[in-house]
Structure 1
Amino acid sequence: MPGRVETSRATAAVERPVALVTGATRGIGRAIAIDLARTHRVIVGGRDPETVGALVTELGDAAPFAVDLADEAHVAAAVAGLADGAGADGIDVLVHSAGVIGPIAPVAASDRAEFRRILELNVVAVADLTARLLPALRARRGLVVAINSGAGHNAGPRSSVYAASKFALRAVTDSLRAEEAPNGVRVTSIHPGRVGTDMQRELRAAEGGEHEHERYLEPDSVAATVRVAVDLPPSASVHSLSVRPFG
C-alpha cells in the first residue's frame, strides 16, 4: 500500500478537483482514496471519526465525511455540512466503495432482517447519497463510480443476499447513467473479482475456506481501474469495467 501522500503548501493553495470516497478507511476504498489524493482533494468517507481523521491527516489535502450511511438523518446532516466542512461547492468524483457482504447462506435459510440490512447499505444508501450530491456533481459535470462486484453479473450458491444487492446496484447505476447524461454527469460501474482485503478474509472464513492472498486482486489494482475512468476526457465514459486476478 502506498505511504503518506505529501502535499506542499503551494499545491494545497491551488484549487484541485474534489473526490468523495465512501468506505475510504480500509481495503479498496483506502487504496482509491490514496491514489486519487495525487490529483484531487479527497473527502474521506467512513463510519468511525477516528479512522477517518487519521486518513485525512495522512493525505494532507483532505477533509472528513464521518457518517453512518445507514442513518438517513445522519447522511442528510453530513451532506448539508459538506460546503462548510470541505470548502467544496461542487464534487468532481463520487466513489461508492462502502459495502458489506452479509450472510453466506442458501435462500432456504434467508433472514428477512439481513436481506433488508444488506440492501439498505449496498443499494439504498448509494442511491440516497448520490441523489443528495447530484447538484454538486452537476455543477462540475462530475463522475459517479460504483464499486460493484463480479456478483453483480453472476450469482453463485449461498450468495443470494450479496448478489441481489449487487444486481440491484447495477440497475441503479444503469438508470442513473441514462438519466444524468443530459446533465453532463458520467457513471461508471466497476466489477472486481475477489480482492485481498479484510472483507475477503471474513468471506473465506464464512465459506470455510483458506484466505489465499496470492489468488486475489490487490486493492491497488481496483484503484487503478477507477483511475482509468477518472482520467478520461469529458468526451468519453467508461460504462462498466470488469477486472479479475491474472493467472
Structure 2
Amino acid sequence: MALHFLTGAGSGIGEALATRLVDRGDTLVLLARSEDRAHVLRERFPGAATVVADLAEPQRIAEELARQHLPERLDSLIHVAGVVDLGRVDSLSVSSWSWQLGVNLIGPAELTRILLPALRAATGQVVFVNSGAGLRTSPEWSAYAASKHGLKALADGLRAEEAAHGVRVSSIFPGRTATPMQQRVHEQEGRPYDATEFIDPESVVTGILTMLDLPRDAQIPELVIRPGA
C-alpha cells in the first residue's frame, strides 16, 4: 500500500486522481490551503490525512508545515494544484504574476524541498502535472505559460539532481482538460464552455498512474496527452 502526498485534490484532475488512488487501497496525505478546505477534503476522502499550507504564500510553507505531522517515508509527491489568470503583458498586474508563479512554480519547488528527505527514504517519485502551456504559449497566456515553463525546468533539474538518490521525476503535459479551471479559462476568453470537447480528467489520471506504477527499472520523464481525433 503506497503513501502519496497530493496537492489539488479538491477538484478536476486532482480529485479524480485522489479517488482512483483511494479506490485501489493507497493512502493519501492531502494539502489544503486552509483549515476549512482541509475539513472538506477529509469529508470527501475519509481516512486521508490533511496538512494545511497555502501555495500562494511559498515563503510561509516551511513554517506552516513544521507545526504539523509529515510522513518520514513517502512513495510519491504529486503536484496537481494550479491557477490561471489570462491577460496581456501590457495589462497583467504584478499581483497576478506573483499569484500564478507562487502557486504553479515556487510553491511546488518549496514543497518538494521540504518533502525530499521522505521521498529519498522510500526511493519515491515526484510527478508534476504541467500543461500544454509548459511547452508553448499564446497571446494572453504569458504569465501562466511562464510558470509552467519554469515547472518543466524545475522537473528537469530535479530529475538530474535526484537520480543518485533513486528518486524518479516525471512531468505530464495535458492538453485542454474538462475541469473547473478550464471553465474559468473559457469565462476569461468570453467563449461558451462544453466539457465534452476536452480531455476527460480520468484520461490524464490514467497517464499519471502509469508513471507511478512503472517498474523501477525504468521511468517516464515526460508524457504529453492531447485530445483524441
* TM-score, normalised via structure 2 length: 0.93
Using the alignment, how far apart are the partners of 1:174 and 1:229 within structure 2?
16
Q: CA deviation at 1:76?
A: 3.3
Tell me the amino acid that sits aligned with residue 13 of structure 2: I
1:225 equivalenced with 2:200 (yes/no):
no
Using the alignment, how far apart are the partners of 2:106 and 2:167 within structure 1?
20
Q: CA deviation at 1:40?
A: 1.6
- Indicate which of 102, 114, 132 corresponds to 1:120: 102
The alignment partner of 2:10 has SS state of coil
Q: CA deviation at 1:178?
A: 0.5
- Indicate which of 111, 121, 124 corresponds to 2:93: 111
Q: CA deviation at 1:50?
A: 3.5
Using the alignment, how far apart are the partners of 2:64 and 2:120 within structure 1?
20
Q: Is the 8 A contact 1:25 1:44 kept in 2?
A: no
Aligned CA-pair RMSD: 1.6
Q: Is the 8 A contact 1:68 1:75 kept in 2?
A: no
Q: CA deviation at 1:26?
A: 1.0
* TM-score, normalised via structure 1 length: 0.87
1:186 equivalenced with 2:168 (yes/no):
yes
Using the alignment, how far apart are the partners of 1:79 and 1:152 within structure 2?
31
Q: CA deviation at 1:79?
A: 5.1
Q: CA deviation at 1:142?
A: 0.4
Paired residue for 1:82? Answer: 69
The alignment partner of 1:237 has SS state of coil
Tell me the amino acid that sits aligned with residue 195 of structure 1: T
Paired residue for 1:59? Answer: 45
Using the alignment, how far apart are the partners of 1:171 and 1:74 within structure 2?
21
Question: Which piece of structure 1 moves more, 213-222 or 127-136?
Answer: 213-222
Q: CA deviation at 1:44?
A: 1.6
The alignment partner of 2:90 has SS state of helix
Deviations 1:181-230 (A, max 9, x none): 11010001010011111111110010011112111111111111110011
Q: CA deviation at 1:176?
A: 0.3
Q: Is the 8 A contact 2:61 2:110 kept in 1?
A: no
Q: CA deviation at 1:141?
A: 0.3
Q: Is the 8 A contact 2:61 2:111 kept in 1?
A: no
Identity of aligned residues (%): 37
- Runs of 4+ residues over 4 Å off in structure 1: none
Tell me the amino acid that sits aligned with residue 55 of structure 1: L
Q: CA deviation at 1:59?
A: 3.1
The alignment partner of 2:212 has SS state of helix
- Indicate which of 111, 134, 137 corresponds to 1:129: 111
Paired residue for 1:209? Answer: 191
- Indicate which of 81, 95, 98 corresponds to 1:98: 81
Q: Are residues 113 and 51 of structure 1, via their aligned partners in 2, closer, same or farther at CA, if it must alter by over 3 Å?
A: closer
1:27 equivalenced with 2:12 (yes/no):
yes
Q: Are residues 18 and 76 of structure 1, via their aligned partners in 2, closer, same or farther at CA, if it must alter by over 3 Å?
A: farther
Using the alignment, how far apart are the partners of 2:44 and 2:95 within structure 1?
37
- Indicate which of 54, 57, 60 corresponds to 1:73: 60
Using the alignment, how far apart are the partners of 1:171 and 1:99 within structure 2?
16
Tell me the amino acid that sits aligned with residue 67 of structure 1: A
Q: Is the 8 A contact 1:79 1:133 kept in 2?
A: no
